[in-house]
Amino acid sequence: MLSKLLTPKAQKMESSLVRELLHYSQQPDILSLAGGLPDEKYMPSYPAIEALEVSQQYGPSEGEGRLRHQIAEIVKERGVAVEDNQVLVTNGSQQALDLVSRIVLDENSIILTEQPTYLAAIQVFELQGAQIKDVRSDEFGLVPDALRRAIEEYQPKAVYLIPNFQNPAGHCYSKRRRVEIAALLDEKGVLLIEDDPYFDLCYEDVDRTPITHYLETAPWVYMGSFSKVLWPGMRTGYVVSCEALVPYLVKIKQAADLHTNRLGQLMISEYLVSGAYPEHIKKLRRVYAQKRDAMARAIDVNLSGLVSYSLPAGGMFFWVKLPSGVFSDRVLRQALERKVLVLPGLPFFANASELSDGYLRLSFARVSEEDVSNAISILADVIKEIMDESL
Amino acid sequence: MLSKLLTPKAQKMESSLVRELLHYSQQPDILSLAGGLPDEKYMPSYPAIEALEVSQQYGPSEGEGRLRHQIAEIVKERGVAVEDNQVLVTNGSQQALDLVSRIVLDENSIILTEQPTYLAAIQVFELQGAQIKDVRSDEFGLVPDALRRAIEEYQPKAVYLIPNFQNPAGHCYSKRRRVEIAALLDEKGVLLIEDDPYFDLCYEDVDRTPITHYLETAPWVYMGSFSKVLWPGMRTGYVVSCEALVPYLVKIKQAADLHTNRLGQLMISEYLVSGAYPEHIKKLRRVYAQKRDAMARAIDVNLSGLVSYSLPAGGMFFWVKLPSGVFSDRVLRQALERKVLVLPGLPFFANASELSDGYLRLSFARVSEEDVSNAISILADVIKEIMDESL
């Protein structure tokens, strides 16, 4: 019955491993390093809003005027110069990604991504029937020569990049790479889809200027979110775009759900007005940097010489390369038996190879220093056992 | 540039006339009969929620457990027997419609609708590339013989129906039609997409049992909304579906925006728990019935013998047939010059003909009795002038 009822693309939608795993993470005795959830301990209280009633009626598809202005100011400060009318408020940046994909990608499209890349982006691009080609990345970001070859070979519709503290690999592009990639996209006229949810979660003095800033002629969209720094349950993010794309994004937003929840928009707007935001971000940086360092220590103590990683300068994740011959799926299953939940690297590869199965993504954002130490110690035992068995 | 950048479907997305018109309706001196907005005067205050913090973190894609249970109870009472796990909370029923379309329709699909039908449904179906075939409806609903012929001729993927107080035509299906259509869909195995946002806005003693209730074997989805009876700005609606479709709806929801705003879900859930809902609905019925009657009187006084309509037993709209030779677009423009905004019938026809341009949709929900009387009187002047000129 389903094969007659569903579209071929819908039939191919994969049951997300992450979704499945997140069910485990809700069990109270599980130590989870798997999700991308911020720590609720550091979420500020909701602000009191005086004129709540204004949020009850239908609102504009583009989003609340005051919040759009605030978002324009935020991205301008990052180097993306926009007018308020180029801002579309979305249900988190996940919806921004979905809306952009729906107007740009179809079964005749190819999109280039980093390797690995954000798994829900893979899901969304594939849902449109697009083909994903991943381009080699190193610790400085996407490799420009590889990008040039890929553009020339595939004539892609767009390039999807997460230059700041990438999910999952954690890398932050060097300034030089940013400039080179922008020049290349200008030269080729390829759309840049820049995803920047972790901009504010920065723990080192690194350049975070969006690649969009350096573009001169190429079309672009730039996406951000309040989910990682305020309240993800509000589902409030945004996409700003070059003028030409604005009317199409508004139309697809309208078809998708008319507009984003107004109460959430007003609460975020009110919180931004209150002036508490800069101090809040400072605090988040301090506590998350401590958590990151605790995880680095735990890995160094327990797994030194066995796994490798680069210390992420921001964001929420360690991208850990397992010893050769140790596969992430097995680590996941055996760690879960001991109540530690990790995320295997495999679903972050659009085109999996043998090598793709040798990584774990470990989130430090939501666990205490003590729990991280326990979890990594258990993980080390599991990895060592697997290595012993395969000798 | 855009022709290279956008998909062919995105390029074809039409700028919605309704969107354009709603800009006018925000001008304070405009008397608007155009939108589908409920009257904010009768929206209850938000309930106080004790444990607000629970809504800050990411939540389940399916929706909040308590609200899903409440929705299951609501639709059971209407005659649609479901378990909680068959309920998906969405950003209004607009998103429900979009999600269902995305898993069922593509460019190889045909979908059957009423004639006229909800304009945003047309937008969503066309966005999927589906072909819409409209089936003849009369005041009792879709005509079963015409439906049978259309199913046999077009082999459609689905039939989209709004049996209760349809937007725009206002009709309410007779019980006999509901039973006949259900039997036909069972016989042919065609998916029913039943949209029921106006169920509670009922002003007469009519049968409102969902057609879904009468189905035995055909696949189905049933959509509802809190937007017409509580707070549309919350964007909280739902789709319940037959078991087979549940996992696909959850997966597409996850790709679309992870989940619906939790604060809105909790507020609606809390309001339902408070016990105030039945009294609130009674009040809405009373005030909207008065508004409906005021509009009927104003039309009878000012436009008797010129236009025709059936008194809607529920919902928000009069569907008014203009005198022959008077076209809705001209009425719209000339009325707008006199600060009265109406919605032309044309965009409610998936396949427009000469006849489609002879209707107006007039909403009585948000205007006072005095304003409705003034607006209809101006509208009558405009219609008479157009008739005089064309003599």
**What are the pLDDT digits (tens) for B4-13?**
888 888 888 8
Taken in order A273, A275, A281, A283, is the CA torsion positive or negative? negative
Q: Which of B1, B4, B13, B95 to mutate against chain A (most A CBs within 10 Å)?
A: B13
Q: Which of A257, A268, A284, A366 to mutate against chain B (most B CBs within 10 Å)?
A: A257
pLDDT tier, A357 (very low <50, low <70, confident <90, very high otherwise): confident
Nearest CA-CA partner of A160 in A220, A203, A214: A220
- Same domain, residue pair A62 and A207: yes
CA atoms within 13 A on the CB side of B154: 23
Residue B249 is predicted with a pLDDT of 96
Query: Is A48 part of any domain?
Result: no
- Same domain, residue pair A182 and A73: yes
In chain A, the percentage of residues whose pLDDT exceeds 90 is: 80
Please confirm whether the linkage preceding B168 is cis (ω < 30° from 0).
yes
pLDDT digits (tens, 9 = 90+) for B355-364: 788 999 999 9
Q: What angle do CA B330, B331, B334 make, to 5 degrees?
A: 85
pLDDT digits (tens, 9 = 90+) for A265-310: 999 999 999 999 999 999 999 999 999 999 999 999 999 999 999 9
Which residues of A are less than 8 Å from B186 in CB distance? none
CA distance B234 to A85: 23
**pLDDT at A8 > cutoff 90:** no
- Same domain, residue pair A204 and A345: no
Which residues of A are less than 8 Å from B104 in CB distance? 5-7, 10
Mean pLDDT, range A13-25, rounded to an integer: 71
Please tell me which residue, B390 or A11, carries the higher pLDDT value: A11
Domain that holds residue B297: 2-43+278-389
**pLDDT at A16 > cutoff 70:** no
The values of phi and psi at residue A242, to 5°, are -65, 150
Residue B344 is predicted with a pLDDT of 92
Query: Residues with Cβ < 8 Å from A139, sequence gap 6 or more?
Result: A171, A310
Query: Is A49 part of any domain?
Result: no
Which residues of A are less than 8 Å from B233 in CB distance? 55-59, 261-263
pLDDT digits (tens, 9 = 90+) for B31-45: 888 877 888 877 888
Taken in order A90, A94, A100, A101, is the CA torsion positive or negative? negative
- Same domain, residue pair A379 and A242: no
Residue A143 is predicted with a pLDDT of 95
Residue B38 is predicted with a pLDDT of 84
Which residues of B are less than 8 Å from A227 in CB distance? 58
Residue B51 is predicted with a pLDDT of 64
Residue B255 is predicted with a pLDDT of 93
Maximum CA extent, chain B: 68
Q: Lay out the sheet containing B191-195: strands in order across.
A: B87-90, B237-241, B220-225, B191-195, B158-161, B110-114, B131-135
Which of B55, B233, B257 has the CB atom closest to A59's CB atom? B233
Residue A331 is predicted with a pLDDT of 94
Which residues of A are less than 8 Å from B256 in CB distance? 91, 94-95, 98, 256
Nearest CA in chain A to B157: A5
Q: Which CATH number belongs to the domain containing residue B31 in this structure?
A: 3.90.1150.10
Strand (E) positions, chain B?
A: 31-32, 87-90, 110-114, 131-135, 137-138, 141-142, 158-161, 191-195, 220-225, 237-241, 317-321, 340-341, 343-344, 359-363
Which of A6, A37, A45 has the CB atom closest to B104's CB atom? A6
**What's the gap in Å between the CA of B160 and the closest CA on chain A?**
14
- Dig out the tokens for A308 from the structure: 């490798």
CA distance A292 to A287: 9
Record: contact A256-B55, CB cut-off 8 A = no
Residue B54 is predicted with a pLDDT of 80
Residue B39 is predicted with a pLDDT of 83
The values of phi and psi at residue B387, to 5°, are -65, -40
- Same domain, residue pair B118 and B250: yes
- Same domain, residue pair B261 and B285: no
Record: contact A98-B52, CB cut-off 8 A = no
**pLDDT at B220 > cutoff 80:** yes
Query: Is A104 part of any domain?
Result: yes
Residue B3 is predicted with a pLDDT of 80
Mean pLDDT, range B185-198, rounded to an integer: 98
Query: Is B269 part of any domain?
Result: yes
How many residues are there in chain A?
A: 391
Mean pLDDT, range A343-371, rounded to an integer: 89
Mean pLDDT, range A19-45, rounded to an integer: 78
Which of A235, A258, A263 has the CB atom closest to B94's CB atom? A258
pLDDT digits (tens, 9 = 90+) for B49-82: 666 778 898 999 999 999 999 999 999 999 999 9
Record: contact B251-A103, CB cut-off 8 A = no
Record: contact A191-B5, CB cut-off 8 A = yes
- Same domain, residue pair B309 and B204: no
Taken in order A32, A37, A42, A44, is the CA torsion positive or negative? negative
Of B237, B256, B273, the position where a domain reaches its end is B273
**pLDDT at A240 > cutoff 80:** yes
Of B218, B239, B273, the position where a domain reaches its end is B273
Residue A261 is predicted with a pLDDT of 96
- Same domain, residue pair B185 and B299: no
Residue B343 is predicted with a pLDDT of 92
- Same domain, residue pair A265 and A333: no
Residue A11 is predicted with a pLDDT of 85
What is the end-to-end Cα distance of chain B in Å, rounded? 48
**What's the gap in Å between the CA of B19 and the closest CA on chain A?**
9
- Same domain, residue pair A382 and A264: no
Residue A356 is predicted with a pLDDT of 80
The amino acid sitting at A295 is M
Which 3 state secondary structure label does DSSP give A318? Answer: strand
Query: Is A51 part of any domain?
Result: no
| A141, A181 Cβ separation under 8 angstroms | yes
Of B245, B273, B301, the position where a domain reaches its end is B273
Between chain A and chain B, the number of residue pairs with CB atoms below 8 A apart is 228
Residue A51 is predicted with a pLDDT of 64
Which residues of A are less than 8 Å from B254 in CB distance? 16, 19, 120, 123
pLDDT digits (tens, 9 = 90+) for B263-278: 999 999 999 999 999 9
- What domain count does chain A have? 2
Mean pLDDT, range B102-118, rounded to an integer: 95
Pairing of strands A131-135, A87-90: unpaired
**pLDDT at B382 > cutoff 90:** yes
Query: Residues with Cβ < 8 Å from A220, sequence gap 6 or more?
Result: A191, A192, A193, A194, A212, A241, A242
Residue B96 is predicted with a pLDDT of 98
Which of A2, A98, A244 has the CB atom closest to B256's CB atom? A98
Residue A68 has what DSSP assignment? H
Which 3 state secondary structure label does DSSP give B146? Answer: helix
| B129, B156 Cβ separation under 8 angstroms | no
Residue B318 is predicted with a pLDDT of 96
Query: Is B50 part of any domain?
Result: no
Query: Is B147 part of any domain?
Result: yes
Nearest CA in chain B to A14: B251
Record: contact B257-A90, CB cut-off 8 A = yes
**pLDDT at A320 > cutoff 70:** yes
Q: Which of B56, B119, B155 to mutate against chain A (most A CBs within 10 Å)?
A: B56
Q: What is the mean pLDDT of chain A?
A: 92
pLDDT tier, A15 (very low <50, low <70, confident <90, very high otherwise): low
- Same domain, residue pair A315 and A342: yes
Residue B157 has what DSSP assignment? S
Helices B246-257 & A92-104 angle (0-180, nearest 10) = 100
Residue A205 CB burial class (10 angstroms; 0-12, 13-18, ≥19): exposed
Q: Which of B151, B263, B265, B284 to mutate against chain A (most A CBs within 10 Å)?
A: B263
pLDDT digits (tens, 9 = 90+) for B121-146: 999 999 999 999 999 988 899 999 99
Which of B6, B58, B92 has the CB atom closest to A232's CB atom? B58
| B274, B341 Cβ separation under 8 angstroms | no
**pLDDT at B17 > cutoff 90:** no
Query: Is B53 part of any domain?
Result: no
Q: Which CATH number belongs to the domain containing residue A181 in this structure?
A: 3.40.640.10
In the block, which residue shows the tokens 């009709």?
A: B171
- Dig out the tokens for A9 from the structure: 């693309």
pLDDT digits (tens, 9 = 90+) for B290-346: 999 999 999 999 999 999 999 999 999 999 999 998 999 899 999 999 999 999 999
- Same domain, residue pair B24 and B126: no
Q: What is the mean pLDDT of chain B?
A: 92
pLDDT tier, A164 (very low <50, low <70, confident <90, very high otherwise): very high
How many other C-beta atoms lie within 10 A of the C-beta of residue B200? 24
CA distance B91 to A260: 8
